[in-house]
Chain A
Amino acid sequence: MALSHLSSSSRSSTLLKPLTTSYLLRRPISTDSTPLTIETSVPFTSHQCEAPSRAVETSSKELLSFFRDMALMRRMEIAADSLYKAKLVRGFCHLYDGQEAVCIGMEAAITKKDAIITAYRDHCTFLGRGGTLLQVFSELMGRKDGCSKGKGGSMHFYKKDANFYGGHGIVGAQVPLGCGLAFAQKYSKDEAVTFALYGDGAANQGQLFEALNISALWDLPAILVCENNHYGMGTAEWRAAKSPSYYKRGDYVPGLKVDGMDALAVKQACKFAKEHALKNGPIILEMDTYRYHGHSMSDPGSTYRTRDEITGVRQERDPIERIRKLILSHDLATEKELKDIEKEMRKQVDDAIAQAKESPMPDPSELFSNVYVKGYGVEVIILSSYQLISILFFHDICYH
């Protein structure tokens, strides 16, 4: 799975017209990096700042990688749904299908030096940061090869080498962590930014405003991204927030409202936000998005919204369909080629699941590993009647 991190800002392009069809039919579909400029379908709405232009620079290669990666993510989430129903995944499982454009667009605008932290709907974000399908499915099934060695579960995916900081179960608690990451970036003069993602439900958490205040005071490169899928589990946004204009709730902090189902709009907004945060401090992005599944696998998702609403969004705003239409209308690939890509993604997912099922459960000794980090100090040994077993046990509990 290839994730392209083209920053089309590096291309000096003055083109505003699409490439001609005859030229395109001859060249291979996924390698053309000639710049393409596409307008977002919905304009940006801004608060305390000037909105970026609607014209987004992209390329055939990038669009096809968007399609490929979003198709993979969609497949992965649907497969996770089946695994959960087959009782191979237990506990909580929060699926991201419908929202793929947010993490894909974000990745296209940033580098791995920038940090991302999100809440528990993190499978696709993890994949976007470079995680593998095997790591995802192994962790979901609680196996050794999972990204957190099977000890975290669906809500605790992390990838330190890609600056992906998880993966958090308590609503809103990741936002102060994210501002702390931004603080560390400023402290170490990294010239990188942190994207702290949260939902419309978490937007009402006090710690968010506390952290925003501190970030604005200290000029931290923190970008708070509200993935507004309009429902905080079963509570619609108008029932939970007096002001559902989440991009305005930063008050003195500028904000931007983005069509979160349009990967290109997300990319443009994140690029804009990164430039802003590095110079001027925090900014809020509100991604107007939608989730097809319920809040989690235990929520049917239809008691608080109508099926018509869900199918309506799927027909009109689906992120993958949008990119498909773009690709087809610009003749960047044929329908068959796109279908083949989807089949290939399906196969990749099935293979990964099969491999993950082979992965063993964690060793019993892993129960006590990684509780503490071994460091300075006395080797405290319990002298009890359980003698050696206790010695080893306690040793492992404390120092591993």
Chain B
Amino acid sequence: MAAIFQGLGAATALSPSNCFDSNKLHYSSRRSLSGRKASFFVVRSDGSVNFASNSRAHRAQQVITNAVATKADNSAASTKAGHELLLFEALREGLEEEMDRDPHVCVMGEDVGHYGGSYKVTRGLADKYGDLRVLDTPIAENSFTGMGIGAAMTGLRPIVEGMNMGFLLLAFNQISNNCGMLHYTSGGQFTIPIVIRGPGGVGRQLGAEHSQRLESYFQSIPGIQMVACSTPYNAKGLMKAAIRSENPVILFEHVLLYNLKEKIPDEEYICNLEEAEMVRPGEHVTILTYSRMRYHVMQAAKTLVNKGYDPEVIDIRSLKPFDLHTIGNSIKKTHRVLIVEECMRTGGIGASLTAAITENFHDYLDAPIVCLSSQDVPTPYAGTLEEWTVVQPAQIVTAVEKLCQ
């Protein structure tokens, strides 16, 4: 108990970036880096949002005239320098930095080596690190995921790439029973510092089997952590954090976000795995989202702001465990929640989040939680039908309007 209170005390004394909106938004972030000392500069994600905003959010800022929230100043973390890159390049940068730093890190997956990765995330790495560290596997997800887990049991830090997240269903047994549970069933003897990553989500007419959202299937597995990246900034940060974590982490990328461009810091940074990202502070309603839906939400936010609403948008990033601290503080302020996700309606991340919020913050809600998810159908091929299976900005606007009545 003492340790937690110490943590509380210590965190409020942190740099201005942590408390930049403590007056305005009535919460102080009680965060402290646990355990190890960081020998590099850790940039707080909420402090750097504005600095690292992508083009769309930037446009949203310019449109605001009558919004209530003031944009927080750039945190101590922001630098005017930095370099621009695409999301898949950010992933690669994170991966490369970690492979340089720790010789135990290796990558295995289909076509990650000589081909350079089907989404170019591992391009060039095989030439640099050789065949033993960047391994091309045959098409055998069950076994190479199992091999990655076996290697992790001895202390190696493999990164297993599923060419498409949907293919990892073939390795579900390994991920659930061995990856998630071995630390527990061995009484703590083995740790599994593996990272399982790959693109998922609905793309552009890829068909039902290549448009799956696996976060809903994996979320019940005890012992794993799940994170979803959405910007080049958090992609690199989460990749690095996932590799350094002693726990098995599943990093969900999205097929349509690989070409997002953003300027990220030159200096080294990681993003905390269990932390949500404040995309746009607001007063009227809390919109919780992640991955690609963040961009649909921000598009809707533009329209909403023009109509006079002030939505608070949070990219939850950490799908397991949920960052109920950030989410809770937001709900206590706005009293209304809208969840926008790409998972199916039944048993998705939104469903779990709804349950978690209801359980913990019921007293603070002025209205029932609204959850917008994809339809419970296999993703059709036809473009128009595919559009209707996922949540569109217009639906988000309507939902907010109804919620705020």
Contact = CB atoms under 8 A, between A and B. Distances in A.
Interface of A: 115, 117, 146-153, 156, 158-160, 165-170, 173, 175-181, 183-188, 206-207, 210-211, 213-214, 217-218, 369-385, 388, 391-392, 394-395, 398-399
Nearest to A147: B187
B186 interface: yes
Given A371-B223, A376-B35, A380-B323, A160 B147 contact: no
A149 B190 CA distance: 13
Contacts of A186: 132
Interface of B: 1, 4, 7, 30-36, 106, 132, 135, 137-138, 140, 142-156, 173-174, 177-178, 182-191, 222-223, 225, 241, 244-247, 270, 272-275, 321, 323-325, 328-329, 359-361, 363
Contact of A181 (B1, B150, B188): B150
Contact of B223 (A117, A160, A372, A380): A372
Given A176-B143, A178-B150, A376 B1 contact: no
Contacts of A375: 34-35, 244-247
18 contacts: A117-B150, A160-B190, A166-B182, A167-B185, A177-B174, A178-B150, A207-B142, A211-B143, A371-B184, A374-B34, A376-B33, A378-B34, A378-B323, A383-B329, A384-B328, A384-B361, A385-B363, A392-B4
B35 A380 contact: no
A183 B33 contact: no
B142 A160 contact: no
B187 A151 contact: yes
A152 B146 contact: no
Given A374-B35, A382-B324, A177 B187 contact: no
A322 B183 CA distance: 40
Nearest to A178: B150
A177 B223 CA distance: 18
B273 to A, nearest CB: 5
B187 A370 contact: yes
Contacts of B274: 377-378, 380, 398
A178 B143 CA distance: 10
A377 B246 contact: no
B221 to A, nearest CB: 11
A213 B140 contact: yes
B142 A148 contact: no
A370 B153 CA distance: 15
Nearest to A165: B153
A214 B143 CA distance: 9
Contacts of A217: 138
> Could you tell me the dominant secondary structure of chain A's interface residues?
loop
3 closest Cβ pairs, A-B complex: A180-B150, A176-B146, A180-B147
B273 A376 contact: yes
A383 B8 CA distance: 13
Nearest to B140: A210
Contacts of A149: 187-188
Contacts of A372: 183, 223, 225, 247
Given A376-B244, A384-B360, A180 B34 contact: no
Contacts of B329: 383
B325 A214 contact: no
A218 B143 CA distance: 14
Nearest to A400: B188
B138 A391 contact: no
A218 B135 contact: yes
Contacts of B150: 117, 165, 176-181, 183-184
B146 A158 contact: no
A148 B186 contact: yes
Contact of B34 (A151, A158, A214, A376): A376
A373 B246 contact: yes
A381 B137 contact: no
Contact of A173 (B178, B244, B325): B178
B245 A376 contact: yes
A184 B184 contact: no
B264 to A, nearest CB: 19
A378 B31 contact: yes
A334 B144 CA distance: 52
Given A376-B270, A376-B272, A379-B32, A370 B184 contact: yes
Contacts of A376: 33-36, 241, 244-245, 270, 272-273
Contacts of A159: 189
A393 to B, nearest CB: 12
Contacts of B189: 148, 158-160
Nearest to A390: B360
Contacts of A384: 324, 328, 359-361
Nearest to A374: B35
Given A175-B146, A373-B191, 11 more contacts: A173-B177, A180-B148, A180-B150, A183-B151, A375-B245, A375-B246, A377-B273, A378-B323, A379-B32, A383-B324, A383-B329
A186 B133 CA distance: 11
B146 A207 contact: yes
B263 to A, nearest CB: 24
Contact of A391 (B4, B178, B321): B4
Given A214-B140, A379-B31, A176 B190 contact: no
A213 B147 CA distance: 12
B339 to A, nearest CB: 18
B137 A382 contact: no
B178 A168 contact: yes
A83 B222 CA distance: 31
A180 B272 contact: no
B174 A176 contact: yes
Contacts of B188: 149, 369-370
A92 to B, nearest CB: 13
Contacts of A166: 182, 186
B184 A151 contact: yes
B142 A381 contact: no
B30 to A, nearest CB: 7
A378 B149 contact: no
Contacts of A147: 187
A380 B153 contact: no
Contacts of B244: 375-376
A115 B153 CA distance: 11
A99 to B, nearest CB: 23
B155 A184 contact: yes
Contact of A210 (B32, B33, B138, B185): B138
Nearest to A155: B185
Contacts of B225: 372
Nearest to B193: A373
Contacts of A117: 150
Contact of A378 (B184, B190, B245, B325): B325
Contacts of A169: 177
A124 B148 CA distance: 27
Contact of A211 (B4, B147, B246, B247): B147
Contacts of B143: 175-176, 179, 207, 210-211, 214
